[in-house]
Structure 1
Amino acid sequence: MKPINQVIKTMKPSGIRKYFDLANSMEGVISLGIGEPDFNTPWHISNAAIESMQSGYTHYTANRGLIELREAICEYYHNRFSVDYDPKKEALVTVGGSEAVDLCFRTLINPGDEVIVLDPNYVAYEPAIIMAGGVPVYIELTQDNDFKLTPEDLKAALTEKTKCIMLNFPSNPTGGTMGREDYEKLVPIFEESGIYIVSDEIYAELTFEGEFCSPASFDSIKDQVLVINGFSKAFAMTGWRLGYLLCNAEINSQLTKVHQFIIMSAPTAAQYAAIEALGSGLEDTEEMKKEYERRRNLLCARLNRMGLRTNVPRGTFYAFPDITSTGLTSDQFCVRLLEEQKVAAVPGTAFGEHGEGFVRISYATSYENLKEACDRIEAFVASLKQPEEVLIEEEIVIE
């Protein structure tokens, strides 16, 4: 047999799935690893899909998706974020945000083009870039800067080979956000460079502090921006596998060509569910968001009290604590935490080289589970203290 594609062969499997699989193989594990809402899809959304099937809507839709859904998506972006797109020419419904990421890089990148990636970053970006023949160029995001992208770092990363930048705010894994005032500093650089901006906005509705801002809201660079979003996180619809792309008509027509050949069209029943979600599901989203914020506050307070420095995430349902005080690497911390206390988290290195010294903890689990997990993490951190330190603490308590 002839050899398979070397790019695929040398690619590492997802670091998230590794710990998810380990956790599933053990009894009594509290999983804080997977990035999935613990809420079920609201019934009225599921029922819309059922009714569509009962009505016989079980055939292909248009390649770009149902026009009713594209209209709802564009109305949603207009009403929520003051960004306008033409549903007929500038909207494309995809199989999850993951397909949208893949489409962007397949369409934009020529072999050897550079793509700026923020590090830490979501695990799917780098492989998608490499599979498309691109070259990732990394910008380190720091805890001291609240994991924001700065103009200085952006300028330093740009070269003649730079084709685009991959943004994800609110960020998985850091929970960092970029407000309008942050983007205003970057817009002149984007405008001058002419690079494409791929903006993954899947956690837009899970912004806790301030208003969510899309780079597409700046008219001078809007045609450079490709917006990715979907229904998985905001509406607890991970299993429905439905996302979308918004961008200028010329690029959208090229994206649609790739989509036609690899997908044809997104699942029909899921599209009808999504129409219901955008029409009547935002109240459900708001309730879920309130609960995520309650959990976030508990988790961050507990982690900081343990001595694990943790920035309070302004979005998403992830915390990204610094675990260097334990003396363990990210991987050692997660392996031992799982083995000794049966709590699953993901090492920061799953999200890039600069994730070393951090772990990602998802608080998309029940408040009760989170309290118990915090107790177990605290016990684990306490067990790592040197005997001398324990003795000193005991003496202080006695006094």
Structure 2
Amino acid sequence: MIKHSDHFHGSDLEKIEQIYRIKKEDITSFSANVNPLGISPELRKTLADKIDAITSYPDREYTSLRKCIGNYVNTDFNHIIVGNGSTELISLFIQIKHPKKAIMIGPTYSEYEREISLGGGSSLYYRLDEESDFNLDMKSLDNELKPDVDLLIICNPNNPTSSAIKNEDMRKILDICKQRDIFVMVDETYVEFAEDMNLITSIPLTEYYNNILILRGISKFFAAPGLRLGYAICGNEDLLKEINKRKNPWTINSLAVIAGEIMFSDEEYILRTKELISSERTRICNTLNKCDNIKVFPPVANFVLIKILKENITARDLFDNAIKKGLMIRDCSTFPFLDQQYIRFCFMSPEKNDELLKILLESLK
């Protein structure tokens, strides 16, 4: 049985290997929220032929890559900045804005809080209400945006709740924050998995608002966390100049640049990913909703949050039952406001999804 002190991130396969004596190659991680199709076939086919690129420095401005991203997200490439994963860009942004007090909409990813703390600031959570399926209450948020708040952080779609804020509501949030001199940082790591991404992404709003920065990356949708390529979209040119001024040169290597350009252009792979996630999200949720011993929170992203309603069954129990079969889910008790009643798992191949569903439903009879 998993120890109470053992909590695993989706990348902690080495720890799992040690504790459960299961080879990490034999583990299917439903915890990492990564595209089950793996990397782009075009990337797999062509990247090796580009190996000579490492004999020279990449373009210091990354112009070609930024143009490719601009075409992918349909925005001006001059409003795009690239970094060594979104974590580098979060860190640079926090260093520049130096927020004294931030509000994070949660439960959510913990890296934001860490960066704010390192910068000497404090952070509070605005708590999403479970009764409303973790969807945002605009009036309630408005009341929490006090004069001493200078940064609002939103993960959209949110991890781990898989809920989302539509861009029509994001516009209202930006209007409120503009009036109160609050900057808004939006993490769109999972937006490409959404059924109708155009209703959620805030990228079009960067043309009208200078108090928003949007973060994205290739770790999840493009299944390439090891390449460490992130990017941000912002219409505030002064902020972009300041980030570029502080940013170390060549933080993205030549192969990552080439890989990004290939992936963002692989339209067939992008479409296949969206179709697979859409069909499996619908199928799995329809199956889970037939189980009386759980509550399924409607997912927008490529993962689903579930509340366990059956007595004497905890997230640790379900984690243990699944990992013994080589399937790794997320015990969500480490997220703010969640406890041992909650698990999260992403959508993988239909065959693997069926394996996990069988284990979960048998455990929850």
Q: TM-score, normalised to structure 1's length?
A: 0.79
Residues 1:357 and 2:336 are matched in the alignment: no
Residue among 45, 66, 70 paired with 1:74: 70
Report the alpha carbon displacement of residue 327 of structure 1 after superposing the two structures with TM.
4.7
The structure in which a higher percent of residues are helix is 1
C-alpha distance in 1 between matches for 2:305 and 2:336: 13
C-alpha distance in 1 between matches for 2:7 and 2:84: 19
Residues 1:127 and 2:123 are matched in the alignment: no
Report the alpha carbon displacement of residue 124 of structure 1 after superposing the two structures with TM.
2.1
Residue among 296, 303, 306 paired with 2:291: 306
1:194-343 equivalent positions in 2, closer than 5 A: 194-209=181-196, 211-218=198-205, 222-247=209-234, 248-260=236-248, 264-279=250-265, 281-307=266-292, 308-314=294-300, 316-330=301-315, 332-338=316-322, 343=327
Give the SS at the match of 1:283: helix
Residue 146 of structure 1 aligns with an amino acid whose one-letter code is D
Q: Which residue number corresponds to residue 99 of structure 1?
A: 88
Spell out, residue by residue over 1:264-306, the C-alpha distance to the aligned partner (whole angstroms, 9 max, x if none). 4211111112112223x13211101211222222322232222
Q: Which residue number corresponds to residue 353 of structure 2?
A: 370
Change (3 A) 1:181 1:31: same
Q: Which residue number corresponds to residue 3 of structure 1?
A: none
Residue among 360, 373, 379 paired with 2:362: 379
Give the SS at the match of 1:359: strand
Larger radius of gyration: 1
Structure 2 residue runs of 5 or longer lacking an equivalent are: none
Residue 52 of structure 1 aligns with an amino acid whose one-letter code is K
1:148-167 equivalent positions in 2, closer than 5 A: 148-167=135-154
Change (3 A) 1:230 1:31: closer
Report the alpha carbon displacement of residue 236 of structure 1 after superposing the two structures with TM.
2.6
Change (3 A) 1:235 1:29: closer
Report the alpha carbon displacement of residue 355 of structure 1 after superposing the two structures with TM.
5.8
Change (3 A) 1:277 1:219: closer
C-alpha distance in 1 between matches for 2:187 and 2:228: 15
Residue 259 of structure 1 aligns with an amino acid whose one-letter code is K
Report the alpha carbon displacement of residue 117 of structure 1 after superposing the two structures with TM.
0.9
- Percent identical residues: 19
C-alpha distance in 1 between matches for 2:140 and 2:364: 34
CA RMSD, Structure 1 to Structure 2 (Å) = 2.8
Q: Which residue number corresponds to residue 17 of structure 2?
A: 24
Residue 370 of structure 1 aligns with an amino acid whose one-letter code is N
Report the alpha carbon displacement of residue 30 of structure 1 after superposing the two structures with TM.
4.9
Asked whether the 8 Å contact 1:72–1:278 carries over to 2, the reply is yes
C-alpha distance in 2 between matches for 1:138 and 1:153: 13
Spell out, residue by residue over 1:187-241, the C-alpha distance to the aligned partner (whole angstroms, 9 max, x if none). 3312212211111112222111463433343368621111111222232322222
Residue among 46, 58, 61 paired with 2:58: 61
C-alpha distance in 1 between matches for 2:6 and 2:310: 28
Change (3 A) 1:205 1:18: closer
Change (3 A) 1:57 1:338: closer
Change (3 A) 1:18 1:355: farther
Q: TM-score, normalised to structure 2's length?
A: 0.86
Structure 1 residue runs of 5 or longer lacking an equivalent are: 1-11, 79-83, 383-399
